[in-house]
Structure 1
Amino acid sequence: MTRYYFDLLDEDGLFIDEEGLEFSDLRAVQAEAAKSLADMAREAVHGSPGLSRRHMMVDVRDKVGPVMQIRFNFEVERMKQ
């Protein structure tokens, strides 16, 4: 099993994962990164009801270096106030 680190980046800053999690394949790593990104998006929407735009990213790395990057962008355009 390989240890992977999931660094989180959004407008609030960069949060470095210093513990990591162990996975046996990249499919499981990708699923965990997507879950982390979904959690970030949910927290951003609930924490900032007036939020209209947000960019978020999860950088995944192992002990050698970068493995994958997953990004999520969303924008709310209100037609009525």
Structure 2
Amino acid sequence: MRRYYFDVREDDNLQTDDEGRDFSSFAAAQGEATVSLAELALGTMAKHGADHRMSIEVRDERGPVQTVKWFEIERLA
């Protein structure tokens, strides 16, 4: 088991995960980050609209291992 931490970035704000969670594989941690971001983004977009940047930055005890980003919507007019 390996411990992964999921730091949530919304626009310029970063909320760090000090506890982390144990996963049996990197793929399992990646899946958790993807699902968590989708759930978080749906709730946030319902409150604040689509003009919002979000990501989950995954790290382990050695440092960053992955960033999962929510898609970006750019208004042109």
Q: Same fold (TM over 0.5)?
A: yes
Paired residue type of 1:72: W
Aligned to 1:74: 72
Matched, 1:32 2:32: yes
**Offset, 1:12:** 6.3
1:1-80 to 2 correspondence within 5 Å?
A: 1-11=1-11, 13-48=13-48, 51-75=49-73
Higher strand share: 1
Shift of 1:74: 3.4
Assess, with a 3 A threshold, how the Cα gap between structure 1 residues 30 and 41 changes in structure 2: closer, same or farther. Answer: same
Using the alignment, how far apart are the partners of 1:43 and 1:12 within structure 2? 18
CA distance in 2: counterparts of 1:7 and 1:75, whole angstroms: 22
For structure 1, the 5+ residue unaligned runs are: none
Superposed displacement of residue 72, structure 1: 1.1
Alpha-carbon distance between aligned partners in 1 of 2:50 and 2:28, rounded to the nearest angstrom: 31
Question: 2: distance between equivalents of 1:58 and 1:52?
Answer: 17
Aligned pair count reads 76
Q: Please report the RMSD computed on the Cα atoms of aligned residues, expressed in angstroms.
A: 1.9
Deviation at 1:3, TM superposition (A): 0.5
TM-score where L is the length of structure 1: 0.81
Structure 2 residues not aligned, in runs of 5+: none
SS of aligned partner of 2:72: strand
Rounded to whole Å, the distance in 2 between the matches of 1:72 and 1:59 is 11
